[in-house]
Structure 1
Amino acid sequence: MDDLLQAHSVQFEDDVILFLAGELDIATAPLVHQAAVAALASAPQRVYLDLTSLTFCDTTGLHALKRLNRTVRTAGAVLRIVGMRPRLRRTLARLQSFSLASPYAALSDSILTCHLAR
Protein backbone atom coordinates (compact mmCIF):
# COMPACT_ATOMS: atom_id res chain seq x y z
CA MET A 1 0.00 0.00 0.00
CA ASP A 2 2.80 2.43 0.89
CA ASP A 3 4.21 2.12 -2.62
CA LEU A 4 0.85 3.18 -4.14
CA LEU A 5 0.48 6.42 -2.18
CA GLN A 6 3.02 8.46 -0.30
CA ALA A 7 1.94 11.16 2.14
CA HIS A 8 4.18 13.51 4.04
CA SER A 9 3.77 16.89 5.66
CA VAL A 10 5.93 19.91 6.31
CA GLN A 11 5.33 22.62 8.92
CA PHE A 12 5.59 26.19 7.56
CA GLU A 13 5.01 28.88 10.20
CA ASP A 14 1.34 28.48 11.28
CA ASP A 15 0.55 26.23 8.35
CA VAL A 16 1.08 22.63 7.30
CA ILE A 17 1.71 21.44 3.76
CA LEU A 18 0.46 17.91 3.14
CA PHE A 19 1.81 16.27 0.00
CA LEU A 20 0.10 13.27 -1.63
CA ALA A 21 1.85 11.36 -4.40
CA GLY A 22 0.57 8.30 -6.23
CA GLU A 23 -2.84 6.65 -6.31
CA LEU A 24 -5.72 7.52 -4.00
CA ASP A 25 -8.20 4.64 -3.94
CA ILE A 26 -9.80 2.10 -1.61
CA ALA A 27 -6.42 0.61 -0.71
CA THR A 28 -4.75 3.92 0.14
CA ALA A 29 -7.58 6.14 1.45
CA PRO A 30 -6.88 5.34 5.14
CA LEU A 31 -3.39 6.78 4.72
CA VAL A 32 -4.90 10.21 3.93
CA HIS A 33 -6.76 10.29 7.24
CA GLN A 34 -3.67 9.13 9.16
CA ALA A 35 -1.58 11.85 7.48
CA ALA A 36 -4.23 14.48 8.26
CA VAL A 37 -4.38 13.56 11.94
CA ALA A 38 -0.59 13.78 12.16
CA ALA A 39 -0.54 17.11 10.29
CA LEU A 40 -3.23 18.60 12.53
CA ALA A 41 -1.33 17.75 15.71
CA SER A 42 0.46 21.11 15.49
CA ALA A 43 -2.89 23.00 15.33
CA PRO A 44 -2.20 24.82 12.05
CA GLN A 45 -4.35 27.68 10.77
CA ARG A 46 -4.27 26.30 7.25
CA VAL A 47 -3.56 22.93 5.67
CA TYR A 48 -2.31 23.08 2.11
CA LEU A 49 -3.04 19.82 0.34
CA ASP A 50 -0.66 19.50 -2.61
CA LEU A 51 -2.03 17.06 -5.20
CA THR A 52 0.52 17.86 -7.90
CA SER A 53 1.87 14.29 -7.79
CA LEU A 54 -1.48 12.53 -7.36
CA THR A 55 -1.82 10.29 -10.41
CA PHE A 56 -5.17 8.60 -9.76
CA CYS A 57 -8.26 9.20 -7.64
CA ASP A 58 -11.37 7.01 -7.65
CA THR A 59 -14.66 7.51 -5.80
CA THR A 60 -13.20 6.17 -2.56
CA GLY A 61 -10.40 8.72 -2.98
CA LEU A 62 -12.99 11.47 -3.45
CA HIS A 63 -14.66 10.41 -0.20
CA ALA A 64 -11.25 10.48 1.50
CA LEU A 65 -10.80 14.08 0.32
CA LYS A 66 -14.25 14.99 1.63
CA ARG A 67 -13.39 13.40 4.98
CA LEU A 68 -10.10 15.29 5.03
CA ASN A 69 -11.97 18.55 4.44
CA ARG A 70 -14.33 17.80 7.38
CA THR A 71 -11.44 16.76 9.62
CA VAL A 72 -9.51 19.95 8.89
CA ARG A 73 -12.57 22.17 9.44
CA THR A 74 -13.42 20.39 12.70
CA ALA A 75 -9.88 21.12 13.89
CA GLY A 76 -10.50 24.83 13.24
CA ALA A 77 -8.25 25.09 10.21
CA VAL A 78 -8.86 25.82 6.54
CA LEU A 79 -8.06 23.39 3.75
CA ARG A 80 -6.42 24.82 0.64
CA ILE A 81 -6.09 22.37 -2.24
CA VAL A 82 -3.31 23.02 -4.73
CA GLY A 83 -1.95 21.31 -7.80
CA MET A 84 -5.14 19.59 -8.90
CA ARG A 85 -5.22 18.13 -12.36
CA PRO A 86 -8.09 19.49 -14.52
CA ARG A 87 -10.09 16.27 -14.44
CA LEU A 88 -10.04 16.06 -10.64
CA ARG A 89 -10.87 19.77 -10.38
CA ARG A 90 -13.94 19.29 -12.61
CA THR A 91 -15.06 16.24 -10.63
CA LEU A 92 -14.76 18.00 -7.28
CA ALA A 93 -16.56 21.06 -8.65
CA ARG A 94 -19.51 18.83 -9.59
CA LEU A 95 -19.82 17.42 -6.08
CA GLN A 96 -22.10 19.91 -4.40
CA SER A 97 -21.48 18.42 -0.99
CA PHE A 98 -17.77 19.22 -1.21
CA SER A 99 -16.80 22.84 -0.77
CA LEU A 100 -13.40 23.67 -2.20
CA ALA A 101 -11.70 26.39 -0.20
CA SER A 102 -9.81 28.41 -2.79
CA PRO A 103 -8.19 25.79 -5.00
CA TYR A 104 -4.93 27.18 -6.38
CA ALA A 105 -2.92 26.02 -9.35
CA ALA A 106 0.36 26.05 -7.45
CA LEU A 107 1.41 25.86 -3.83
CA SER A 108 3.41 29.08 -4.09
CA ASP A 109 0.31 30.98 -5.30
CA SER A 110 -1.74 29.78 -2.34
CA ILE A 111 0.89 30.52 0.32
CA LEU A 112 1.67 33.92 -1.15
CA THR A 113 -2.01 34.89 -1.30
CA CYS A 114 -2.65 33.82 2.30
CA HIS A 115 0.44 35.50 3.70
CA LEU A 116 -0.19 38.77 1.83
CA ALA A 117 -3.71 38.85 3.26
CA ARG A 118 -2.38 38.95 6.85
Structure 2
Amino acid sequence: MGFVTGNWPRLSPVSVAARACCPRCGRGRLHLGFLTMAPLCEACGLDLVRQDTGDGPAVFLIFVLGFLVVPAALYVAMHVEWPLWTHAPVCGVVILALTVGMLRPAKASAIALHYRHRRSDRGV
Protein backbone atom coordinates (compact mmCIF):
# COMPACT_ATOMS: atom_id res chain seq x y z
CA MET A 1 0.00 0.00 0.00
CA GLY A 2 2.91 2.35 0.60
CA PHE A 3 1.46 4.22 3.59
CA VAL A 4 2.70 4.04 7.15
CA THR A 5 -0.10 3.94 9.73
CA GLY A 6 -0.76 7.45 10.98
CA ASN A 7 1.24 9.12 8.20
CA TRP A 8 -1.53 9.98 5.74
CA PRO A 9 -1.40 12.72 3.11
CA ARG A 10 -3.54 15.81 3.74
CA LEU A 11 -6.09 15.68 0.94
CA SER A 12 -8.16 18.60 -0.28
CA PRO A 13 -11.95 18.18 0.08
CA VAL A 14 -12.24 19.35 -3.53
CA SER A 15 -9.98 16.56 -4.81
CA VAL A 16 -11.81 14.00 -2.65
CA ALA A 17 -15.14 15.25 -4.04
CA ALA A 18 -13.95 15.19 -7.64
CA ARG A 19 -12.59 11.64 -7.39
CA ALA A 20 -15.08 10.29 -4.78
CA CYS A 21 -12.21 8.63 -2.95
CA CYS A 22 -11.31 7.93 0.67
CA PRO A 23 -10.67 11.15 2.63
CA ARG A 24 -7.72 9.59 4.46
CA CYS A 25 -5.61 7.85 1.82
CA GLY A 26 -7.11 9.06 -1.47
CA ARG A 27 -7.05 5.58 -3.00
CA GLY A 28 -10.16 3.64 -1.97
CA ARG A 29 -13.62 4.16 -3.41
CA LEU A 30 -16.10 6.12 -1.32
CA HIS A 31 -19.29 4.77 -2.91
CA LEU A 32 -20.36 1.25 -3.83
CA GLY A 33 -23.34 2.36 -5.92
CA PHE A 34 -24.66 5.79 -6.86
CA LEU A 35 -24.98 7.04 -3.26
CA THR A 36 -24.40 3.85 -1.23
CA MET A 37 -21.40 4.32 1.05
CA ALA A 38 -18.70 1.68 1.23
CA PRO A 39 -18.42 0.39 4.82
CA LEU A 40 -14.60 0.45 4.81
CA CYS A 41 -11.95 1.92 2.56
CA GLU A 42 -10.53 -0.91 0.49
CA ALA A 43 -7.04 0.63 0.58
CA CYS A 44 -6.48 1.86 4.16
CA GLY A 45 -9.36 0.34 6.15
CA LEU A 46 -10.94 3.63 7.31
CA ASP A 47 -14.39 3.06 8.78
CA LEU A 48 -16.48 5.13 6.35
CA VAL A 49 -19.74 4.34 8.13
CA ARG A 50 -18.67 6.71 10.93
CA GLN A 51 -18.35 9.57 8.43
CA ASP A 52 -22.11 10.16 8.18
CA THR A 53 -23.29 13.30 6.39
CA GLY A 54 -27.02 12.91 6.90
CA ASP A 55 -29.09 15.27 4.74
CA GLY A 56 -26.49 18.05 4.73
CA PRO A 57 -25.36 17.77 1.10
CA ALA A 58 -28.93 17.60 -0.22
CA VAL A 59 -30.03 20.63 1.81
CA PHE A 60 -26.94 22.56 0.73
CA LEU A 61 -27.67 21.77 -2.92
CA ILE A 62 -31.31 22.82 -2.54
CA PHE A 63 -30.25 26.24 -1.28
CA VAL A 64 -27.44 26.76 -3.80
CA LEU A 65 -29.41 25.54 -6.82
CA GLY A 66 -32.46 27.52 -5.74
CA PHE A 67 -30.31 30.63 -5.54
CA LEU A 68 -28.87 29.98 -9.03
CA VAL A 69 -31.82 28.51 -10.94
CA VAL A 70 -34.64 30.84 -9.84
CA PRO A 71 -33.03 34.02 -11.27
CA ALA A 72 -32.15 32.11 -14.45
CA ALA A 73 -35.74 30.87 -14.73
CA LEU A 74 -37.07 34.40 -14.22
CA TYR A 75 -34.70 35.72 -16.89
CA VAL A 76 -35.85 33.03 -19.34
CA ALA A 77 -39.51 33.72 -18.50
CA MET A 78 -39.07 37.43 -19.30
CA HIS A 79 -36.98 37.06 -22.47
CA VAL A 80 -38.24 33.87 -24.12
CA GLU A 81 -41.80 33.69 -25.38
CA TRP A 82 -42.73 30.20 -24.27
CA PRO A 83 -46.23 29.31 -23.17
CA LEU A 84 -46.47 29.59 -19.38
CA TRP A 85 -47.00 25.86 -18.84
CA THR A 86 -43.63 24.95 -20.40
CA HIS A 87 -41.53 26.74 -17.79
CA ALA A 88 -42.37 24.34 -14.93
CA PRO A 89 -41.33 21.13 -16.72
CA VAL A 90 -38.20 22.70 -18.21
CA CYS A 91 -37.07 24.20 -14.88
CA GLY A 92 -38.00 20.98 -13.08
CA VAL A 93 -35.84 18.88 -15.38
CA VAL A 94 -32.93 21.34 -15.09
CA ILE A 95 -33.11 21.38 -11.27
CA LEU A 96 -33.45 17.59 -11.08
CA ALA A 97 -30.49 17.02 -13.42
CA LEU A 98 -28.28 19.49 -11.55
CA THR A 99 -29.23 18.01 -8.17
CA VAL A 100 -28.63 14.40 -9.20
CA GLY A 101 -25.40 15.31 -10.94
CA MET A 102 -24.02 17.28 -8.00
CA LEU A 103 -25.24 15.12 -5.11
CA ARG A 104 -22.43 12.56 -5.22
CA PRO A 105 -19.59 15.15 -5.24
CA ALA A 106 -21.38 17.17 -2.54
CA LYS A 107 -21.64 14.09 -0.35
CA ALA A 108 -17.96 13.22 -0.92
CA SER A 109 -16.94 16.78 -0.05
CA ALA A 110 -19.01 16.72 3.16
CA ILE A 111 -17.41 13.41 4.16
CA ALA A 112 -13.93 14.84 3.51
CA LEU A 113 -14.70 17.92 5.61
CA HIS A 114 -16.21 15.75 8.34
CA TYR A 115 -13.08 13.57 8.41
CA ARG A 116 -10.69 16.53 8.44
CA HIS A 117 -12.35 18.55 11.19
CA ARG A 118 -13.51 15.86 13.64
CA ARG A 119 -10.26 14.71 15.16
CA SER A 120 -11.89 12.40 17.71
CA ASP A 121 -13.53 10.30 14.96
CA ARG A 122 -10.48 9.63 12.79
CA GLY A 123 -10.26 6.06 14.01
CA VAL A 124 -8.43 3.27 12.24
| TM norm. shorter chain > 0.5 | no
Higher strand share: 1
Higher helix share: 2
Q: Which has the higher contact order (CA 8 A, sep 6+)?
A: 2
Length-normalised TM-score, structure 1: 0.23
Length-normalised TM-score, structure 2: 0.22
